A = this chain, B = another copy of it.
Amino acid sequence: MTNATDLLHRLTSLLGPAAVITEGADLEPYAVDWRRLFPGKPACVVRPSNAQQVARIVQICREAGVAIVPQGGNTGLAGGAVPDATGTQVVLSLNRMAAIRSVDPVGLTIEAEAGCILKIAQDAAAAAGRLLPISLAAEGSATIGGVVAANAGGVNVLRYGMTRSLVLGLEVVLPDGTIAHGLRKLRKDNAGYDWKQLFIGSEGTLGIVTAAVLRLVPRPKHSVTALLSVADPAAALRLLELAQDELGDQISAFELISATSMQLVARHAGLKAPIAEGEWFVLIEAASSLAGLREAAETMLGAAFEQEIALDGVIAESGAQASQLWALREHVTESEAREGKSVKHDVSVPLTEVPRFLIEAGEALAAGAPGTRVNAFGHLGDGNIHYNVLVDANHDAAHVNRIVHDVVAAFGGSISAEHGIGQYRVGELARYRAAPEMELARTIKRALDPDNRLNPGKVLSA
Contact = CB atoms under 8 A, between A and B. Distances in A.
Interface of A: 104-109, 129, 150-151, 153, 157-158, 161-162, 164-165, 174, 178-182, 184-195, 197-198, 200-202, 217-221, 237, 240-241, 244-250, 288-293, 295-296, 348-353, 379, 382-384, 412-421, 425, 429, 432-434, 436-441, 443-448, 459-460
Contacts of A220: 248
A326 B165 CA distance: 29
A104 B184 contact: no
Given A194-B164, A289-B246, A436 B187 contact: no
Contacts of A198: 193, 197-198, 444
B289 A291 contact: no
Contacts of A162: 188, 190
Contact of A245 (B192, B218, B433, B439): B218
Contacts of A434: 180-181
A367 B363 CA distance: 76
Given A195-B444, A250-B288, A288-B288, 13 more contacts: A104-B352, A107-B353, A162-B190, A184-B413, A190-B201, A191-B416, A191-B420, A192-B438, A193-B202, A197-B198, A218-B247, A245-B289, A247-B290
Given A164-B194, A218-B249, A417 B180 contact: no
A383 B240 contact: no
21 contacts: A104-B352, A106-B237, A107-B352, A129-B245, A157-B187, A157-B188, A161-B165, A174-B440, A182-B437, A187-B383, A188-B379, A189-B348, A189-B417, A190-B418, A190-B421, A192-B437, A192-B441, A193-B441, A194-B201, A218-B247, A290-B292
Nearest to A439: B178
Contact of A249 (B289, B293, B444): B289
Contact of A413 (B186, B247, B250, B416): B186
